Amino acid sequence: MTQDVPLLELRGVSKVFGAVQALDKVDFVVPAGKVTALAGDNGAGKSVTIKTISGLWEPSAGQILWEGQPVRLHRPKDAEELGITTIYQDLALCDNLDIVQNMFLGHERLRHRLLDETAMELAARKTLADLHVTTIRSIRQPVASLSGGQRQSVAVAKAVMQSAKLVIMDEPTAALGVAQTRMVLDLIKRLSAQGTAVLVISHNLNDVFEVADHLVVLYLGRMVAQGPASEFDRQVVVDYMTTGQSSRAAAAGTDTP
């Protein structure tokens, strides 16, 4: 991490809502082309963090650096223009539109001022194939007919289609069964293999250890641990998530702030 400029870096980011300190001087990095997991218990500040990164809320203090340069994210559009796409749990798909139409929603390709369905379908098909999304029979089927995992895949493919450099996924596996979770985790790995950074918000440690290269743990609005996922074990992360510190980690010599 030290030799490369991280894709995204938060330096002392705080967010205050009235008397509530939601984030307290949070620092962490999201390395380029890797999967970063943002772990934490309920109320740890995971949602506030991603809403800050995606431009929904401006931080009260601190700095956000994108590829080493300080940036200000006033509106979601600012984040989008940098290449940050956030996939919330509701996925923001239109059930009545088919997969191609959803993937290009708001970014339709035109030919003679009319929708160029052929070009869009070919591009969508290629993106899905690159992501190895193979369980979908036809990309002309309405999104309503898809399973939860497939819907998640379409949302991810939509982000890739719009050439996102960082895809933020909010609890992508929360509502999924075992096979569907498997499918989404594979998708996340493939996404990072293609060079897209992924920031996964999760409190499912199985998922976190399965996909994450880099780990950030929040506790009551503070960043309490971060580092390569290989330096953590499950029990240590649980300690950080529940108490904000870990005697086991101190004993093992893991890097903590």
Partner 1 sequence: MTETVNEDAEPDKAPESDPSTPTAAIAQEQLVALAPDVLADSLGDYMRAWWKRIRGGESGALPIIAGLIGLCIYFEVQSSAFLHAGNIVNLFVQATAIILLGMAELYALILSEIDLSVGYVGAVGAALALALMGTPQNWPWWAAVIVGLLTCAAIGAFQGTLITRLRIPSFVVTLAGLLGWQGVMIAIFNTDKGAVGGVITISNNVITDLVSGNLTTAAGWILFGVGLGIFATTTLFRTARRRSQGLTAPPMSITILTIVAVGVAGAAVVWVCNLNRGTVVAVEGVPWVIPVLVVIVVAQSFLLSRTRLGRYFYAIGASPEAARRAGIKVARIRTIAFALCSLTAGMALIVYASRLGSFSVGYDGGSQVLYAVAAAVIGGASLFGGYGKAIHPVLGGLVIATLTNGLALLSASVAKIDIATAVALMAAVAVDATLRRRSRA
Task: Examine residue 72 and tell whether it contacts partner 1 (CB under 8 A).
Answer: no
Task: Examine residue 93 and tell whether it contacts partner 1 (CB under 8 A).
Answer: yes
Among 138, 163, 251, 253, binds partner 1 (CB under 8 A): 138
Among 145, 245, 254, 256, binds partner 1 (CB under 8 A): 145
Q: In angstroms, give the least distance from the CB of 64 to partner 1.
A: 21
CB 215 within 8 Å of CB 226: yes
CA distances 65 to 26, 146, 246, Å, are: 13, 37, 29
d(CA 71, CA 88): 22
Q: In angstroms, give the least distance from the CB of 93 to partner 1.
A: 6
CB 54 within 8 Å of CB 76: yes
Per-residue DSSP letter, 6: P
Span interacting with partner 1, options 25-33, 103-111, 219-227, 234-242, rule CB under 8 A: 103-111
Per rule CB under 8 A, count of chain residues that contact partner 1: 46
DSSP state letters, 86-145: EE-TTTT--TTSBHHHHHTTTS--EETTEE-HHHHHHHHHHHHHHTT----S-TTSBGGG
Residue 13 or 185: which CB sits closer to partner 1?
185
Span interacting with partner 1, options 42-50, 140-148, 196-204, 229-237, rule CB under 8 A: 140-148
Q: Which residues bind partner 1 (CB under 8 A)?
A: 76-77, 80, 90, 92-98, 101, 105-108, 110, 113-115, 118, 121-122, 125, 135-138, 140-142, 144-150, 175-180, 182-183
